[in-house]
């Protein structure tokens, strides 16, 4: 099924964690708005708002988050952090967080690694196994022509085009990401996901079914933490399916 699993599986997972997802996207808007509250002049903010609207975050929450980021409203002060470590079978994991309490979050991340057969490592211990890339997902439907999507993205600066079971994945260099995403939106495509991510340049297979189950539990525990924005891994098998 590929690194992203299936669109249906990802939507179901997102729906089951709606409140937590709202919290994560609200924080992302606050951070992005620190560099300016007008999305017309702040590409990161525009991207954060577009993603928040895609998961139906209410407009009043978006507005409040922007005002907290710009300082018009008093709010928490968040710090951007990334933790690196290993899961079962030596699978490389990067955990991106936004936190208002570094000590609390560090302790929680370490506990999650330890509890599920992994270990928190030093900065840089696994990031060399990943490249930073812009990643855009578009659902594959009868109304979406593969060649037209590819041409639109290519003209805007796309680097790679991957066809999944039920999605098209467009990859870009980080500097080209916003231009490609905007070109696709202007062409009328709905972007199911769009972000600058860690994409693995080498993958690791779980050594056993038990390790795969433990890895799924670890990632689910990270994603249940409100401080965690995103979890990246280099596991070679899909981890989005239902727990056995």
Domain containing 37 equals 7-70
Q: Which of 93, 180, 89 is nearest to 133 (CA)?
A: 180
Is pLDDT of 44 > 80?
yes
% the chain with pLDDT above 90:
74
Mean model confidence pLDDT for the chain = 90
Which of helix, strand or coil describes residue 182? helix
Residues 24 and 91 in one domain: no
Residues 64 and 144 in one domain: no
Residues 26 and 112 in one domain: no
Residues 90 and 118 in one domain: yes
pTM value?
Answer: 0.84
Residues 168 and 134 in one domain: yes
pLDDT tens digits, one per residue of 58-116: 999 999 999 999 999 887 788 899 999 999 999 999 999 999 999 999 999 999 999 99
pLDDT tens digits, one per residue of 162-186: 998 899 999 999 999 999 999 999 9
Domain count along the chain: 2
Residues 64 and 85 in one domain: no
Beta bridge partners of 169: 137, 162
Residues 90 and 194 in one domain: yes
In a domain, residue 57? The reply is yes
Residues 126 and 212 in one domain: yes
Say how far apart CA 68 and CA 34 lie, in whole Å: 8
pLDDT tens digits, one per residue of 11-39: 555 555 556 788 888 999 999 999 999 99
């Amino acid at each position: 099924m590929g690194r992203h699993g299936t669109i249906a599986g990802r939507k179901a997972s997102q729906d089951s964690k709606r409140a937590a997802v709202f919290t994560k996207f609200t924080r992302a808007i606050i951070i992005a708005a620190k560099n300016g509250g007008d999305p017309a002049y702040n590409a990161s903010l525009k991207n954060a708002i577009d993603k928040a609207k895609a998961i139906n975050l209410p407009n009043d929450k978006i507005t409040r988050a922007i005002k907290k980021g710009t300082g018009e409203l008093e709010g928490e002060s968040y710090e951007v952090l990334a933790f690196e470590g290993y899961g079962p079978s030596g699978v490389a994991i990067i955990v991106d967080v936004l936190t208002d309490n570094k000590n609390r979050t560090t302790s929680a991340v370490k506990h999650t690694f330890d509890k599920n057969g992994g270990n928190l490592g030093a900065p840089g211990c696994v990031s060399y196994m990943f490249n930073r890339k812009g990643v855009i997902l578009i659902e594959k439907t009868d109304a979406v022509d593969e060649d037209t999507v590819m041409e639109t993205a290519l003209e805007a600066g796309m680097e790679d085009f991957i066809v999944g079971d039920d999605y098209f994945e467009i990859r870009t260099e980080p500097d080209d990401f916003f231009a490609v995403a905007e070109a696709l939106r202007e062409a009328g495509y709905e972007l199911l996901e769009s972000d600058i991510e860690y994409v693995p340049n080498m993958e690791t297979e779980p050594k056993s079914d038990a390790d795969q189950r433990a890895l799924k539990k670890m990632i689910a525990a990270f994603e249940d933490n409100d401080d965690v924005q995103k979890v990246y891994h280099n596991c070679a098998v899909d981890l989005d399916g239902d727990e056995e």
